[in-house]
Amino acid sequence: MSAFPTYGPDDIAALDEQAAAMLAVFAGRGYTRHEPAILQPAQIFIDRSGEEIRRRTFELSDPSGRELCLRPDLTIPTCQWQVESGRPYPARLCYHGLAFRHRLGGGPTQFYQAGAELLGLEDRATGDVEMMTVAVGALRAAGLEKFEMKIGDLGLFATLVDALDVPAQWRGRLKRHFWRSGYFETLLTRMVTGAASDAERAIDALHGLKPAELRPAIEALLDKEGDAPLGMRTREEIVERLMVQASDGTAPKLDAKVAETVKQVLDVSGPAPTALEQIRTLTKAVAASMEKPLAAMEARLAALAGLGVDPKSVRFVAHFGRNLEYYTGFVFEFWSRDESGPVEIAGGGRYDTLLESLGGPRGATAIGCAIRSERLLAAARRGK
Amino acid sequence: MMADPLTLAIPSKGRLKEQVDAHFAAAGVALKQTAGARGYRATVEGLPGIDVMLLSASEIASALVGGDVHLGVTGEDLIRENAPELDGRVALLKPLGFGFADVVVAVPRAWIDVSTMADLDDACAAFAHRHRRRLRIATKYAQLTRRFFAHAGISDYRIVGSAGATEGAPTAGTAEAIVDITTTGSTLKANGLKVLDDGVILRSQAQLAMSITADWTEAMRGSAGVLLKRLGATLPA
């Protein structure tokens, strides 16, 4: 498809009909339609999605110098509207509209998205099932019968890392980077060899101090720098990080066996029921912690079976986390195939920190999905 | 009618211009100002068919990447900011041995807990969590910064564009850290900043470079061959 597509009458009619069918499914579940502005302030996307999304976002500025962008997705502005409107939770919102992304390898820079967001429903398990039901329903309403489903859970890996006996800062790093293949493996290796000894000079100076002596010693180190600038990063942030590092001890090492287990878990990929059993076996040492997320995934599979999606046909991929950085837990994608290979039709998942970061209620949950209209139309046509 | 000339872009001002002039003179390449061009156009004595354009160093980099000139002299940092992997658009023909500058990641010296990119990653994540906004990196090297940070696995940051005096951004409060060029490090030091141990993004110097995307004729390749030979470089096949 061209980078600047023109939609002819047949395409427009087909896209309209498809959108109406999907929006009807959303409406039937109580989702109300909202249409955020196409032109958005750039800031909320930059602060929420990071530079990786930013390099694919069309940015521009108005004559007064305000930074704007063409919305790269509709989730963030939809959530922002919910927060600012002060409406009650849980909220069910849906949309159908254009989104814009740079395509680094060519391809269309604008595309239609239909999506639904379930915001602030406390019971996550219920929310997960509802969103899968809505997504599968919308795809079928658009005439797509055959699709492949891929699922993952960022929470499952976070639980595993939390159960590991490693310094707190490392846990944070492992969780942040697990989806970066290549970089993550390097990080693990550094931890095993003990090469990850950070700001050693400062830490060495603090080594062997009693907890009560730590803070004054760190304050003294900082005072030596005089009035050097800090940016917005506060003195307290520096003190806290050094306290944690100093009490973790110098240059800790990660047990090679633990690193191997982490790698093996991340390599798990295959038919969901088998994959979950593999993870259960690999993580036997921390079984008590892992049981909850594994059982939650099995419950989702049971729900999919109820929707007529055979769990054995669903692929569970342990390292699947999507590159949109705001996802936090259960994630899913729907795929089809064309002449050139697999095509992602829809994707979604849980992003339980976004609402709070936009100023919403503390701990407000969120799960949503977005469907790529043009790709869905092409896939549904192929199926006929 | 005369055939289209080969275009060579060289810096129009500053220390880099002086160094390029001296380097060319030593190689026996004498430039003659074109009358009425106010110092923005020149020819090479004894080598007809070469049009010399005097541009700013950053204009030269984008002209090379965009195929608007055939040859150019400018900093590798500027070329790579326009085409990070050169992308089959520019060929570096010869490092010239001057215009040395490192593109580095620098943070406030008072961040005594941060000395590596891994530390900066932790600091970025903690900052985003505490302040509900991303740690800001001031730079005019957005492309180089994005690539280097992605390689280091850092995502919780945002770039703020900087047109000049980037090293003052943390003091001014417009950014927490910077990516900028440094030669001796003294400017960074004077501004209370330090370079991270593994924070050197690029060791840059002036390069004689060729635009692959420009339109090349056989006549142009011929002119370029003669010129480059004097400058101790050759045209890639």
Confidence class of residue B1 from pLDDT cuts 50, 70 and 90?
Answer: very low
How much is the pLDDT for B131?
87
A232–B131 CB contact, under 8 Å: yes
- Which pLDDT does position A259 carry in this prediction? 84
Q: Is residue B92 over pLDDT 80?
A: yes
Check residue B26 and give its pLDDT.
Answer: 92
The CATH number of the structural domain formed by B6-99+205-230 is: 3.40.190.10
**B101-204 adopts what CATH topology?**
D-Maltodextrin-Binding Protein; domain 2 (3.40.190)
Test A47 with B134 for CB contact under 8 angstroms: yes
Q: How far is CA A26 from CA A41, A135, A335, A380, in A?
A: 28, 9, 20, 19
The count of CB pairs under 8 A between chains A and B is 126
Distance from CA of A82 to the nearest CA of B (A): 18
CA distance B146 to chain A (A): 7
**pLDDT (average), residues B91-105:** 95
Its sign, for the CA torsion B172, B173, B179, B182, is positive
Does A169 sit within 8 Å of B170, measured CB to CB?
no
Find the helix or strand (DSSP H, E) in which A230 lies. none
Architecture category of domain A9-160+264-382 in CATH: 2-Layer Sandwich (3.30)
Q: Strands A314-317, A269-271: parallel, antiparallel or unpaired by DSSP?
A: antiparallel
Query: Residue B46: pLDDT band by 50, 70, 90 thresholds?
Result: confident
Contacts of A172 in chain B (CB under 8 A): 122, 125
- Provide, for chain B, the percentages of residues in helix, strand and coil under a 3-state DSSP scheme, each rounded to the nearest 5: 35, 30, 35
Q: Which residues in chain A show pLDDT less than 50?
A: 196-198, 322
The radius of gyration of chain A's CA atoms, rounded to the nearest angstrom, is 23
- Tell me what pLDDT residue A201 has: 54
What are the start and end residues of each CATH 3.30.930.10 domain in chain A?
9-160+264-382
pLDDT at A212: 77
Average of per-residue pLDDT across B30-51: 84
- Residue of higher predicted confidence among B88 and B167: B167
Chain B closest-CA separation from residue A50 CA (Å) = 6
A322 touches chain B (CB under 8 A): no
Query: pLDDT at residue B235 above 90?
Result: no
Looking at the complex, does the CB of residue A221 fall below 8 Å from at least one CB of chain B? yes
Terminal CA-to-CA distance of chain B, rounded, Å? 28
pLDDT tens per residue, range B167-212? 999 999 899 999 999 988 899 999 999 999 889 999 999 999 999 9
Q: Which of residues 75-134 of A touch B (CB under 8 A)?
A: none
Question: Would you list the domain boundaries of chain B?
Answer: 6-99+205-230, 101-204
- What's the pLDDT band for B214 if we cut at 50, 70, 90? very high
Q: How far is A235 from chain B (nearest CA, A)?
A: 8
